[in-house]
Amino acid sequence: MDDLDFNQPALIKLYRQAVMTGDDLEQLEKKISKFLKRSLVSSKLEDQQAKTKATKLKDRLPKPVRWGAAFLPLGLILVGLVLVANATLPIMAYYVNTLPSLKASQLVAPVPQDQVLDINPLIIAQTEVTDHTVLGTKVEDDGPVIIDTELDYTNLNNWFGDQTLPTVEPASEGSLPELAEQPSIAPKIVDYRLDIPEVEISNARVAVGGTDLDKSLIHYPGTALPGQLGSPVIFGHSVLRQFYNPSEKNPRRYNSIFSTIMTLEKGDKIYLTAKGVRYTYVVQDKIEVKPTDTYILAQRYDSRQLKLVTCVPEGTYLRRGVVIAQLIKE
């Protein structure tokens, strides 16, 4: 009796045997009931012994270890939530606070801006090819190529959709007489300085040409120099705002230097210093464009503007934010 496993099939089998052998069913039920009670008591004793053993083992552990085991999972969950919030809140803030003002400031035109030709002496040597010819045979383009490698956006070559830099050829003085009145900046200027007090950027180096945004800001080659007719176009890297540190003491300052330029407001001042001459620009507008919208490089020779370009939302590479400023006299 003690060796029986009292599950349903075993009980049915036991009752059948009792009926076949003519055993007293009442006595059988008493034995089964007695056995079940002993099994229940034994199970409770085993549970109590296991709990006692676990309690003794727990008491042997130092209190800091016990508290750590109790709260570590909760702490890890909270840390994970904080990290997710740090990454997502700045992006959400950009879409809620900054993006609406950008859309409101853009004019609605029947023709997309990237399809409008500027009538000025500028050549942007970039062609969007939809088909091409190989050995006299026309070959259809099968669509975009999927890149399975992570692009380095501290390299300016990766900022445009086809990973090539559009070529900007500035106008000559012969084509526009007003260019003869340009400020006398040496044509071989290699760099100059940028200051934006509103976002705590001071004495930032702007290299004329180049592609390494980890070492300096980049003045796009072929665009106007500071103070000249046209628009100097300056590119800078951005990261999540909590990592923003434009201090001159920070060796990685250029990795985050343009993280907050899209917070600039109309009327804020930007200073460029080249060859000892300081030029003051005042913010006029901010826009958001696609990475392939190279028209932001266009030069208008009827005004003296400045364009600052970075990735938006900060910490992502989805779009390009452009701050447009106008040169003023002080």
Name the phi and psi angles at 187, rounded to 5: -65, -20
pLDDT at 279 over 60: yes
Cα(258)–Cα(311) distance, integer angstroms: 9
Q: What is the pLDDT of residues 33-57, one digit of tens each?
A: 877 787 788 888 888 888 888 777 7
Q: How confident is the model at residue 163 (pLDDT cuts 50, 70, 90)?
A: low
Candidates 189, 242, 220; CA nearest to 310 is 220
In this prediction, residue 136 carries a pLDDT of 43
pLDDT in tens, 64-119: 877 777 778 888 888 888 777 776 777 777 777 777 766 555 544 444 544 444 44
pLDDT given for residue 135 in this prediction: 40
Give residues with Cβ within 8 angstroms of 39, minimum separation 6.
6
Report the C-alpha gap between 143 and 326 in whole angstroms: 40
Residue 62, pLDDT > 50, answer yes
Q: What is the pTM of this model?
A: 0.61
**Residue 64, both tokens:** 């800091």
Judge whether residue 219 has pLDDT over 50. yes
